[in-house]
Amino acid sequence: MLEFKDVCFNYGNGVPVLEHINIRIGPGEFIGLGGRNGCGKTTVTRLLMGLEKPVSGEILHDGKVINDDDASARSHYIGYVFQRPERQMFRSTVEDEVAYGPQQLGMSRDETAAAVAEALAMTGLSHLAKAYPPNLNRGEKQRVAIASAIAMHTSCIILDEPTSGQDSADKKMLMELLTDLNKKGMTILIISHDMDIFAQYCQRVIVIGNHTKAFDGTPQELFTQREDLYDLGLSRPESVALSMAVPGMKYCRSMKEFTEEMLRR
């Protein structure tokens, strides 16, 4: 369980970024984090990661205050996939890259090898074990970053805009991998501007607006009940808009679901 208690933050220039934020992230949740550009989404995740410290308030992990724990202490339970995953890679092969975390944790050679093999298999990267990370495409690099978190047995992965600029096949592959990890108990927090991802994959969405938490609830509540979606920097996904336009139609999380529902009628 990760928790923000009354967290306030600015970058030291007096301009408030986050004010009195309260968030609880339970084990095994799949959460989307949304809001306008510059509203503070990345800042929330940097605070969770230990890359920034709150000006006031507390960040807790399993009930223990972790404000003073740095990013390396938190890497035991939080993995991070940057917008540009190549920035977090510095070893010459994929398997060495994924082995780095387990080695830092002090795992034995055999334990490390087993953790790396398992993580590469889970992320579909076994055939790229000897590849040079900079030569991979973005989707593969993201999966290396996810494999690194899996190999460290982290319980939570945070991803910053992982699907921006990706084609729909890569996007689907990534989201299916995350869904699979989530089913195995991994907590997922995903920053996105893609409303389809919120609707289709997230159990809960948190929206930051006006320096504070502007919404925290299910995607269905967000997309069907909030009148101020546009002001929050969001929009209604096509599947939801269409299902709301057809009388008697149930809420549809995806176009596939909408089409199937229409064919059933």
Contact footprint for ligand ADP (CB under 6 A): 11, 13, 17, 35, 37-43
For residue 196, the minimal CB distance to ligand ADP (Å) is: 19
- Residues 6 or more apart from 227 whose CB is under 8 A from it? none
CA distance 4 to 47: 9
Nearer to ligand ADP, 33 or 147 (CB): 33
Nearer to ligand ADP, 51 or 117 (CB): 51
Nearer to ligand ADP, 13 or 72 (CB): 13
For residue 24, the minimal CB distance to ligand ADP (Å) is: 20
Q: Which of 150, 201, 158, 186 is nearest to 43 (CA)?
A: 158
Task: Identify each DSSP E strand in the chain by its residue range.
Answer: 2-10, 16-25, 30-34, 56-61, 64-65, 78-81, 156-160, 187-191, 204-209, 212-217
CA distance 215 to 31: 12
Nearer to ligand ADP, 52 or 196 (CB): 52
For residue 11, the minimal CB distance to ligand ADP (Å) is: 3
Q: Which of 40, 217, 203, 75 is nearest to 148 (CA)?
A: 75
Nearer to ligand ADP, 11 or 90 (CB): 11
For residue 190, the minimal CB distance to ligand ADP (Å) is: 13
What is the CB neighbour count within 10 angstroms for residue 254? 16
For residue 41, the minimal CB distance to ligand ADP (Å) is: 4
